[in-house]
Structure 1
Amino acid sequence: MLCTGTAADARRTAERVRRLGAEYLDAGVQASPEMIGTSAATLLYGGSAEAFRRHRPVLELLSTASFVGTAPEAAAVCDLALFGLWYDAQLGLLRALETVAGAGIDVSAFAATATTRLGHVVGSVHDTASEVLERSYPAGPASLAEHLPLLHQLIDLRAGSAIGDGGLASVLENVAALVADGRGGEGLTAAVGVAAGRPVTPPG
């Protein structure tokens, strides 16, 4: 299938295809219709690696073809994760603009500073991914113990926001658990281990 869908949709369809004796290849679409057929489109494929290899010349006519995993739901998960990243960033920006505007702060001037802050996040994407993969959580610009009071303050500041607090309550819970476990010197990336249901104690 060449469309955006859920992981459950992909698994159900893959099982139906398997029962029919065929191979399943799914695709997530990060593009508008007019971008298909150009290099501007991002198409993410998952499922049968053999089907992808065999049909890649045709798939490349649509745009650069990227294979992201052999699980039936791999393309759907990757696709939605990327959409989620955009929503998180955009809503985070809107939430910040709403907050400063409500306090009578110059939104244009704030936007210039926000551009720099967001640039730090973009610039550290590969380092953060490495931390998640290696389960190594250096403190970076601040430790978990330093993040903890700031998270409390942000939740208080965002109370009543039209678009919520961005899930900070769950983050606060994870960070507090890590600090209580003696891991207050680690960085914010450590919170992903708790969120994923992994043990609070570090590996090894």
Structure 2
Amino acid sequence: MSTTSAASRDADAGGVVASVAVLGLGAMGTALADALLARGHRVTVWNRTPAKAAGLVEHGARQAESVAAAVAAADLVIVCVLDYAGVTDLLERQAGDALKGRVVVNLTNGAPEDARAMAERVAALGADYLDGGIMAVPAMIGGPEAVLLYSGSSAAFTAHQPVLDAFGRGVFVGGDAGLAPLNDLSLLAGMYGMFGGFMHAAALVRSAGRPVEEFTTTLLVPWLHAMSASLPQMAAQIDSGDYSATGSNLAMQVANDSIGDVSRAQGVSAELFAPMYALMKRRVADGHGDEDMAGVVELLHKR
């Protein structure tokens, strides 16, 4: 069996179906299997607790009695479990030789080094490997807003993209298997930063007895949309290393701790904003007060 097996070619051509195994039926694994079934694919499922497969079986999935049996029934093997130790157990100890000639898509959360090591293990078992990052909650799987990041074998991604599209929009980020988890965590870092800013803003508004929802919809969201337009320019500065100020430079921005002072006066903790302010102050103290905000990245990662 090869990456471009008969079932996969049929799926690529918009024909019948692909044979897919889904290992791990937590909330996300179940959503992935459901999305495949909705597209008419032949789905074999396995879970450590067999009862979790009942609903999927009712929808047309076949339940395998073992990991090896599930893998043997499929060209494409989707793994979504708690951690990479669990993936290793499933693929090396339980699937073993059954993986030969197949494609493994590991959608388990982990670190870049975990993904690279797993790619080597899977290759040693004779299979192609894709690591993935799911930028969605289970309820979003199969919908237009779900985005999944993939890295590893470009041939495997190209051959099986029509099947993987059942989950959401697939984005291949590179041949290094560690790139999907790296991009996943980078996106989450940006998200948590935004949420942190929102929490601080919400606390300030609430401290004045004002409705947070009205502030958010009428003022904050439009403001953040407008400010997000500056991110590509900041990214270009980070890539080039040229942080020449095009607007308010860092020295001007940290001349006063207005956000911190007003927060404390309003009985609001400034601990979400304080780390950013401290970094900006440090960059100015290091002699870079004439730079744009993007220069702060140099304190987080040395070029």
TM-score range, shorter chain: 0.7 to 0.9
Moved more, 105-114 or 53-62: 105-114
Rounded Cα–Cα distance in structure 2 between residues aligned with 1:80 and 1:95: 22
Residue ranges of structure 2 left out of the alignment (5+ in a row): 1-105
Q: What's the TM-score, normalizing by structure 1?
A: 0.77
Residue ranges of structure 1 left out of the alignment (5+ in a row): 199-204
Rounded Cα–Cα distance in structure 1 between residues aligned with 2:262 and 2:274: 11
| Partner residue, 2:251 | 145
Shift in Å, 1:43: 1.1
Higher strand share: 2
In the TM superposition, 1:61-140 aligns within 5 A as 61-105=166-210, 107=212, 110-111=215-216, 112-140=218-246
Rounded Cα–Cα distance in structure 1 between residues aligned with 2:254 and 2:141: 45
Higher relative contact order (CA 8 A, sep 6+): 1
In the TM superposition, 1:6-45 aligns within 5 A as 6-45=111-150
Matching residue's letter, 1:128: M
- Is the CA contact (8 Å cut-off) linking 2:197 and 2:272 kept in structure 1? yes
Percent identity for Structure 1 against Structure 2: 33
Matching residue's letter, 2:125: L
Moved more, 103-112 or 51-60: 103-112
CA RMSD in angstroms comes to 2.8
SS of corresponding position for 2:288: coil
Structure 1 residue 183 and structure 2 residue 183: aligned? no
Q: Which deviations, in whole Å up to 9, do the C-alpha atoms of 1:26-52 show, x marking residues without a partner? A: 111122334333433211101222322
Q: Which deviations, in whole Å up to 9, do the C-alpha atoms of 1:86-129 show, x marking residues without a partner? A: 22212311211112322445646643332343122222232222
- Is the CA contact (8 Å cut-off) linking 1:158 and 1:165 kept in structure 2? no
Structure 1 residue 168 and structure 2 residue 279: aligned? no
Rounded Cα–Cα distance in structure 1 between residues aligned with 2:273 and 2:125: 42
Matching residue's letter, 2:226: H
Matching residue's letter, 1:178: R
Rounded Cα–Cα distance in structure 2 between residues aligned with 1:178 and 1:69: 33
Rounded Cα–Cα distance in structure 1 between residues aligned with 2:279 and 2:155: 41
Matching residue's letter, 1:96: A
Shift in Å, 1:157: 4.8
Shift in Å, 1:185: 1.1
Matching residue's letter, 1:88: G
Shift in Å, 1:155: 4.0
Number of equivalenced pairs: 195
